[in-house]
Amino acid sequence: MSQKRKLRFLLYIYIFSQVGFYIFSPLYALFARSINITPRYIGLIWSAYSLLSAAFILLFGRFENHRRKEKYIKFGIYLYPITDLLLLEVHSATTLLLVLGINALGAGLTFPALKTMFARNEKRGRESEQWSWMDSSNMLAGSLGAAIGGLVISVYGFKGLFIAMAVIQLMAAVIAHRALSYK
């Protein structure tokens, strides 16, 4: 696969996985309130999730040095639709934290490897332009995810939201599996 094509697939993987994330993140507090979690614990749970994600990203970033990145991306990205479906069974702060912890593990496995592969496939002399695609795609994913999330939740509720997240993130996983299985 050419560098340009691999770069494009890595960007698609990132965009789809981030859209799936952003479908939920702006609506997270509404969900937590719907299962009777207090605002104080809503903030603490999201803080713990973010901290755990950061720790896993640092840990796996170091661990993945000198290892093939494809398998970490594939494994990590398959954790996202699994956690989306697990959200269907969340009815307490403890289970919410557990599911978000699994999601954080997915981020730790995926992001260092994905971004390393992206950087390795950039074209010399166009790095700033190509990296801007990665960063702007995160904001695009935030925009699309929030809009999709708001529309889905208003029609189908949280169950529909979690299923939509799982479908979108499964698409990212399938793209990752196919694109990263070719040499």
Reported as a single tens digit per residue, the pLDDT across 78-88 is: 999 999 999 99
Taking each helix axis as running N to C, give the angle between helix 3-24 and helix 127-179, from 0 to 180 degrees, rounded to the nearest 10. Answer: 80
pTM above 0.85, yes or no: yes
Q: What percent of the chain has pLDDT over 70?
A: 98
Tens of pLDDT, residue by residue over 108-144, are: 999 999 999 988 888 888 888 888 888 899 999 999 9
CA of residue 162 relative to chain centroid, distance? 13
pLDDT of 53 higher than 90: yes
Name every residue whose Cβ is closer than 8 Å to that of residue 19 and which is 6 or more positions away in sequence.
Answer: 141, 144, 145, 148, 168
Task: In whole angstroms, give the CA distance from residue 106 to residue 28.
Answer: 18
Contact between residue 144 and residue 22 where contact means Cβ atoms under 8 Å apart:
yes
pLDDT band, residue 182 (cuts 50/70/90): low
